[in-house]
Amino acid sequence: MGAPWRAGGSWLRILVTYILAAVAGYFAVLVHLPLPWMLGPFFVCGAISAAGVRLAFVPMGREIGQVAIGISVGMRFTPVILAALLTLLPAMVLATLYVVVFTMVAAVIFQRLAAVDTTTAFFATAAGGVADMAVVAQEKGGNPNAVAIVHALRVSSVVSLVPILAVMFGSQGTLAAQADEMTHSLPLVLAMLGAGYLVARALKRTPLPNPWLVGPIFLGLILSASGVLSLAIPPLLIVLAQIAIGTWLGCQFKREILVRLPRVAAAGFVVSLFMIAAAALGALALSASTGLPYTTGFLALAPAAVTEMVLTAQYMHLDAELVTGFHIMRIAIVSSTILTVFGFYMKFTGSKHEPRL
Provide the 3-class DSSP secondary structure of residue 183.
strand
Residue 4 has what pLDDT?
Answer: 39
What whole-number distance in Å separates Cα of residue 19 and Cα of residue 41? 10
Rounded mean pLDDT of 82-100?
91
- With CA atoms as reference, report the closest residue to 219 among 244, 194, 182: 194
Residue pair 53/76 in contact by the 8 Å Cβ criterion: no
Residue 110 has what pLDDT?
Answer: 93
Residue 1 has what pLDDT?
Answer: 38
CB atoms within 10 A of CB 351: 14
Residue 3 has what pLDDT?
Answer: 41
Given phi > 0 = left and psi -120 to 50 = alpha, else beta, which region is 34? beta
C-alpha Rg value of the chain to the nearest Å: 20
**What percent of the chain is predicted at pLDDT more than 70?**
89
- With CA atoms as reference, report the closest residue to 192 among 158, 221, 149, 161: 221
Give me the chain's average pLDDT, please.
Answer: 84
What whole-number distance in Å separates Cα of residue 115 and Cα of residue 111? 5
Sign of CA dihedral 31, 301, 92, 90: positive
Residue 134 pLDDT greater than 80, yes or no: no
What whole-number distance in Å separates Cα of residue 53 and Cα of residue 250? 12
What whole-number distance in Å separates Cα of residue 305 and Cα of residue 128? 10
Rounded mean pLDDT of 155-169?
84
What whole-number distance in Å separates Cα of residue 83 and Cα of residue 174? 20
Tens-digit pLDDT profile for residues 283-342: 999 999 999 999 999 999 988 777 888 888 888 888 888 888 898 888 878 877 888 888
Helices 61-74 and 306-315 sit at what angle, rounded to 10 degrees? 50
Q: Which of 29-33, 138-142, 191-195 has the lowest mean pLDDT?
A: 138-142
| The CA-based dihedral angle spanning residues 280, 288, 168, 69, taken in that order and rounded to the nearest 10 degrees | -80
- With CA atoms as reference, report the closest residue to 193 among 75, 323, 42, 39: 75
Residue 101 has what pLDDT?
Answer: 92
Residue 198 has what pLDDT?
Answer: 95
- With CA atoms as reference, report the closest residue to 216 among 238, 236, 193, 184: 193
Rounded mean pLDDT of 39-53?
89
What are the C-alpha distances in Å from 178 to residues 78, 81, 143, 218, 293? 11, 14, 47, 19, 20
Given phi > 0 = left and psi -120 to 50 = alpha, else beta, which region is 284? alpha
Tens-digit pLDDT profile for residues 237-264: 999 999 998 898 888 777 766 676 788 8
233 DSSP 8-state letter = P
